[in-house]
Structure 1
Amino acid sequence: MPNTLPSPYPFPPPAHAPEPGQRMLDACFLGPYGENDTLLEKLVVEFLRDHVHWRRNFHPEDPPAIPTSAAQHPEYLALEARMRRELHQLSAALKQSVPFHSPRYIGHMASDLLLPGLAAQILALPYNPNNVSEDAAPITVQLEVLAGLQLARMFGYPSDPARPDCAFGHLTSGGTLANYQALRMALALKAFPVALRAAGVADIGVPGDDWQAFNLAPDAAIDLLVRWQDWLSTLGEGERRRWRARFQEQRLETLGMFEFFSRHPGLKVPQVLAPVTAHYSWSKGLKMLGLGRAQLRLVATRGMRMDAAALREALEQCERERQPVLMVVAVLGSTEYGTIDPVDAIVQARADVAARGLGFGIHVDAAWGGYLATLFRNPDGSLRGLDEVHAGYRDFPQPEVHAAFAALAETDSVTVDPHKLGYLPYGTGAFVCRDHRATALVSEQADYVFKQGDRDDYMTRYRQLGQFIPEGSKAGAAAAAVYVTHRVLPLDHANFGLMPRQTVLAAEAFQERAQRFADDMRGVVAATVPFPPDSNLVCLALNPHGNRDLAIANAFVRRLYDELRCDPQRPLQVKQFFSSITTLQRAMVGEAELHCILDALGIDPTTMHEDNDRLVILRHTLMNPHLIDHENGISYIDRYFEYLGTLLRGRTSP
């Protein structure tokens, strides 16, 4: 007689065999259900015991400072009780945290943590290394420098320390501080040739006037820096000291912004050109450096990517008006939409105007999308071709997206956040520059005056990390987490790339399911994906059937979002899914593109006015690798749209 009892589990059997690499990914995370709790517990206990053994064997002749009988003393027991009470209260309170680990969470840029990084950080914490220098962190400061080289290789930068032009990278608290470092280094490099001219340095190829000096391309400025260091090395100690002092007196870093430009009245304060999708940290950074928010020039987008034609127009205007440009910022994965700017077109535009005397740096803000570069890298570090990357996807990558990643090697610096698509704990951002020699100009110990090879090799130089970075004290445990993760999962498509692959596949599935959802919901709501995803962020625009008013549509989506956001006043378990919201702003999208989106939703563009110039939309960050659960035959994407349909059908009027 067949067994007719229902299965105790409400899941169907696996639909098919796991994808290649899936079993390796199974060991990477604690898991939505805590499936790898035993593995994490073993790792933590093993290395906690190892740490204790290290303490006991440091000088075993020293007697224990805490007597064994202390654990029985009333004061000891009372403190233990207070400690347990506070920790239990903290543990209880943390249960209200955002469930980033769950595939039901598709809101902001957070997900589960990689076990190798989590375990490495926990392992390193009791040692409490301070990565300001090797004196305070003899191991982890080296790991941070090596982690910077790992990231440099992922972007196609030179990563062999034996090369004079090797890249350099370091960790930061986040992408915002990494962007500040990019501004700081670019400004130092741009002002350096002007200071040499003002100091009256001998003929080592210093440009003939201030405009030319202020507009050297970064590579040319670094070449001049090397010649300056070489020339100084030929002088006697006294003469060298005098020239160093003369130069130092003329530096922007010595004079300050006002005095520097007062001494060079033919120069204007340089501008930073960035797309309208750029993160607000660029505005903050320009204010902090004293350049001023007015120097941030926002460039229009097309399809939420920087418009290359608009950039060329802006650069040509700068050229005509003799307006210096500090840098052009390309966004590799915009915060709201995950779109990829045309890095290749920016590189070409730079080459064209540099030939006419307008030089500037190119920085890539890849805080979100940087780790997608693993999909474009072979294990030997070479670039994968478009067809090779495209195999296995429906649309990814578009040719222009592949071209953008291929051009990363020709940029000057990159911001990337290991605590985003690197799946590591906050805060681990990172800054990487293509040629480490530029760091001499931001050193706090006048490192620029010596040729690097005359003093130290690469690793020795950067073990004094605090000389070159914005921070002073910084956690070495974070460096251990990044380095170990990249060793366990090398930054190429066959290893680390398995994770972003899952997320891009999820984004393609989400977009396809959104189209079916739009078809199914006709007569209830109009639904559309405003911009096809370049990466793994997908937005969804909604408007109740029959509504023509933008304000009503926005209010409708905001009320819907109340069911999809974290609410500290309600238990998390009552929420089925979590998403986020953002807006499509007229100033950001452009009049024509926004009108097309409103038309697709059935909204009258004339209801958009000065006080109501944006469309509120749902935003979905699809970075959880378990959104499509092959083991149990579950698609959380399907479940999300089913839940969304249930919510919307319950709202028959706006």
Structure 2
Amino acid sequence: MPAESPLTRHRIDACFLGPYGENDGLLEKLVVEFLRDHVYWRRNFHPEDPPAISTEASRHPDYLAFESRMRRELHQLSAALKRSVPFHSPRYMGHMVSDLLLPGLVAQILTLPYNPNNVSEDSAPVTVDMEVQVGLQLAQMVGYPHDPLQPDCAFGHLTSGGTLANYQALRLALALKAFPVALRAAGVPDLVLPEDDWAAFNLHPGAGTQLLDQWQRWLAGQSSTLRNQWRRRVQEARIEHLGLVEFFARHPTLRVPLVLAPVTAHYSWSKGLKLLGLGRAQMHLLPENGMRLDVDALETILERCQRERQPVLLSVAVLGTTEYGTFDPVDRMLEARERASAAGLGHSVHVDAAWGGYLATVFRNEDGSLRSRAEIARGYNAFPNEEVYSAIAALADTDSITIDPHKLGYLPFGTGAFVCRDHRVTALLSEEADYVFTGAASKSYLERYRGLGQFIPEGSKSGANAAAVFVTHRVLPLNHLHFGRLTRQTILAAEAFHQRATRFAADNQDCVAALVPFQPDSNLVCLALNPRGNGRIAAANAFVRGLHDDMRADPRHPLQLKQFFGSMTTLRAEALGEVEMRRICDALGLDSATLDGEEGNDRIVILRHTLMNPYLIDHENGISYIDLYFEYLQERVRQRLGTIRPGDSSASV
């Protein structure tokens, strides 16, 4: 693996509290400094006001009793939290979480005493602007227009997580899809409207946005009285006003649209369809090809939908699946959408990049332009392959995207994000009439979104989270020279892990078959294992589950007894396809005929490793936790199989 320069390492070393708490002095100094600063702010708000709490209060028995109870509960909380999962440690390779970046952690702690509520500027005059700016920062990272002076500038906001961001994508796509139908139903004059409801409901999102823009301009030119009349008339014809049942009853030639998603899609899509009232039955899962969405299958279903006059709401690409970290072919999905739109089946394309979104930092120059594949590839063994590069490069042409700063952004939980490519469409989400506005100036863009609550699913929300993300992106801009240094470390770790897994398989072939099922696209690597000589999938699964038990957090026992922490996932025939499933079974020596309908035995259980920690390879001390992990795994495998060899000593790691 290529060595990192001391300068690069030291920049990263300042980013975190550290696996050993090495930066405790820095964190303490910052927290104390800004806590004092907050206190001074309170004292100087109106210094003529006398202190409401007397100096003698701290000596009163009731005060002392309250302090005692508070200390007792806080000590108990602190003790209980010691049973928490050690996400900060390089020994943790489990789920999509790691240590927190210091800028975000301190910014959140600093902001919490001010308690801003980002529902509007009235309750968060500072952090609402920060949240809107975060949307622009993320837009630049993925290649969306990010200059508020541009009429088609992107817009983004924070959410509690990727689930709510995906719901917002559904909500926006449906609003845009149904709006042209409402314009026709209202009989708006002077606009060039589609010839019938089918054509109106199936416009390309770009054409739908242009029609919305024309409507806004036409409305702005009317008298106040007419403007209110036409706004009300269109509003009463919209799907958001009528509801799904009445809308489709009034437009009997239309059917409820489908959502096309890969079989590996997160269950949040099912949740979103239920919440929106479309129903889980409208979700059509597409098969995989090489652990990426099968575009041929997508083309087939789009052709069938066009032939059967079945509308499509949006197709979903996943950039970093939860189980495997693989990237769907965003570029080819966009090409399929354009062909379908030309045939009269327009629909949106959304990217669920909750996991992989921040990997785009490696692909961006400081000015936001896209780096060449050759530039990026220097210093890696295989990253990025053509498919990964093409998928990232195509993000700029999608309609919306989900990104989770609380995953690969190393930020506190509660910081998911939704970004749409063209902010003009958010007028359709507003709880209040928002049809007439000007995007001609940067100020008007920011002013518009200071009433953030009317555009987003949530109401009250923490401004401290917005501060955490905004400050982090300012300290570590989202390009390859800054934030990209962190993501680079994780990719290098994944490549080193993959190489070490190959060596592990060769070293232990006498007792176990080991296989990385597919080349990793990102910083998540899976490992399939089967005891040598076993052909039954149930037995292989029991073996891997036993290994996982050795590496999962168990609050009943001290976590320090655990050497490493990992997670597991499964390989399913409906996701892989028969050919891929047979390939993996054959490589592991498993009889695919032993896949049965019994719960747990209709899939292959595998170990999953999320390689987020930038200190997995500790250059300072010459330690590779990846090597230590595979030594530990070898020892656990051989202990379970009763084939301990002389020299196996990883139990002391």
Under a length normalisation based on structure 1, what TM-score does the superposition of the two structures give? 0.96
Aligned ranges 1:428-577 → 2 under 5 Å: 428-450=415-437, 457-577=444-564
Q: Which residue of 1 aligns with 2:138?
A: 151
- 1:79 aligned onto 2:63: no
- Distance between the aligned counterparts of 2:54 and 2:629, measured in 1? 57
- Distance between the aligned counterparts of 2:7 and 2:478, measured in 1? 17
Q: Which residue of 2 aligns with 1:422?
A: 409
- Distance between the aligned counterparts of 1:117 and 1:297, measured in 2? 38
Amino acid at match of 2:159: T
Amino acid at match of 2:248: F
- Distance between the aligned counterparts of 1:103 and 1:231, measured in 2? 59
Of residues 362, 365, 384 in structure 2, which corresponds to 1:375?
362
Q: Which residue of 2 aligns with 1:120?
A: 107
- Distance between the aligned counterparts of 2:618 and 2:42, measured in 1? 44
- 1:242 aligned onto 2:229: yes
Q: CA offsets per residue over residues 57-107 of structure 1, 9 Å max, x none? A: 000000000011111111111111110000000000000000000000000
Amino acid at match of 2:613: N
Unaligned runs of 5+ in 1: 1-14
- 1:58 aligned onto 2:58: no
Conserved in 2, the CA contact under 8 Å of 1:131 and 1:140? yes
Q: Which residue of 1 aligns with 2:627?
A: 638
- Distance between the aligned counterparts of 1:16 and 1:134, measured in 2? 47
- Distance between the aligned counterparts of 1:328 and 1:579, measured in 2? 32
Of residues 609, 615, 625 in structure 1, which corresponds to 2:596?
609
- Distance between the aligned counterparts of 1:405 and 1:616, measured in 2? 30
Shift of 1:19: 5.1
Q: Which residue of 1 aligns with 2:129?
A: 142
Aligned ranges 1:223-372 → 2 under 5 Å: 223-372=210-359
Shift of 1:314: 1.2
- Distance between the aligned counterparts of 1:402 and 1:194, measured in 2? 38
- Distance between the aligned counterparts of 1:443 and 1:186, measured in 2? 14
Shift of 1:108: 0.3
Shift of 1:45: 0.2
- 1:623 aligned onto 2:619: no
Conserved in 2, the CA contact under 8 Å of 1:268 and 1:323? yes
**Of 453-462 and 435-444, the range deviating more from structure 2:** 453-462
Structure 2 residue matching 1:448: 3-state secondary structure:
coil
- Distance between the aligned counterparts of 1:592 and 1:307, measured in 2? 13
Q: CA offsets per residue over residues 459-499 of structure 1, 9 Å max, x none? A: 00001101100000000000000000000000000100001
Conserved in 1, the CA contact under 8 Å of 2:438 and 2:444? no
Of residues 175, 190, 205 in structure 1, which corresponds to 2:192?
205
Q: Which residue of 1 aligns with 2:30?
A: 43
Of residues 109, 112, 116 in structure 2, which corresponds to 1:129?
116
Q: CA offsets per residue over residues 314-357 of structure 1, 9 Å max, x none? A: 11111111111100100000000000010000111111111111
**Of 176-185 and 230-239, the range deviating more from structure 2:** 230-239
Structure 2 residue matching 1:447: 3-state secondary structure:
coil
Amino acid at match of 2:614: P
- Distance between the aligned counterparts of 2:21 and 2:442, measured in 1? 51
- Distance between the aligned counterparts of 1:53 and 1:419, measured in 2? 31
Q: Which residue of 2 aligns with 1:5?
A: none
Unaligned runs of 5+ in 2: 644-653
Structure 1 residue matching 2:349: 3-state secondary structure:
strand
Structure 2 residue matching 1:497: 3-state secondary structure:
helix
Shift of 1:652: 2.0
Percent same amino acid at aligned positions?
A: 69
- Distance between the aligned counterparts of 1:95 and 1:18, measured in 2? 35
Of residues 90, 99, 103 in structure 1, which corresponds to 2:77?
90
Structure 2 residue matching 1:306: 3-state secondary structure:
coil
- Distance between the aligned counterparts of 2:482 and 2:355, measured in 1? 19
Conserved in 2, the CA contact under 8 Å of 1:244 and 1:449? no
Amino acid at match of 1:67: S
Amino acid at match of 2:476: L
Shift of 1:610: 2.3
- Distance between the aligned counterparts of 2:180 and 2:642, measured in 1? 65
- Distance between the aligned counterparts of 2:400 and 2:4, measured in 1? 42
Over 3 Å counting, the alpha-carbon distance change for 1:554 and 1:59 in structure 2 is same
- Distance between the aligned counterparts of 1:165 and 1:598, measured in 2? 50
Q: Which residue of 1 aligns with 2:585?
A: 598
Structure 2 residue matching 1:58: 3-state secondary structure:
coil
Over 3 Å counting, the alpha-carbon distance change for 1:454 and 1:196 in structure 2 is farther
Amino acid at match of 1:196: L
Conserved in 2, the CA contact under 8 Å of 1:585 and 1:614? yes
Amino acid at match of 2:624: S
Structure 1 residue matching 2:392: 3-state secondary structure:
helix
Structure 2 residue matching 1:364: 3-state secondary structure:
strand
Structure 2 residue matching 1:616: 3-state secondary structure:
strand
Query: Number of matched residues?
Result: 640
- 1:650 aligned onto 2:645: no
Q: CA offsets per residue over residues 270-324 of structure 1, 9 Å max, x none? A: 0110111100000000000000001111111111111111111111111111111
- 1:587 aligned onto 2:587: no
- 1:194 aligned onto 2:193: no
Amino acid at match of 1:150: Q
Of residues 139, 144, 156 in structure 2, which corresponds to 1:169?
156
Q: CA offsets per residue over residues 198-255 of structure 1, 9 Å max, x none? A: 0111131111100100011111111101111111112111111111111111110011
Structure 1 residue matching 2:483: 3-state secondary structure:
coil
Amino acid at match of 1:375: V
- Distance between the aligned counterparts of 1:549 and 1:510, measured in 2? 28
Q: CA offsets per residue over residues 442-461 of structure 1, 9 Å max, x none? A: 00002125555599710000
Amino acid at match of 2:453: G
Amino acid at match of 2:273: L
Conserved in 2, the CA contact under 8 Å of 1:18 and 1:630? no
Q: CA offsets per residue over residues 569-614 of structure 1, 9 Å max, x none? A: 1100000000001110111111110110010000011111222220
**Of 125-134 and 69-78, the range deviating more from structure 2:** 69-78
Amino acid at match of 2:343: R
- Distance between the aligned counterparts of 1:586 and 1:69, measured in 2? 71
Structure 2 residue matching 1:470: 3-state secondary structure:
coil
- Distance between the aligned counterparts of 2:546 and 2:310, measured in 1? 47
Amino acid at match of 1:324: P
- Distance between the aligned counterparts of 2:5 and 2:642, measured in 1? 44
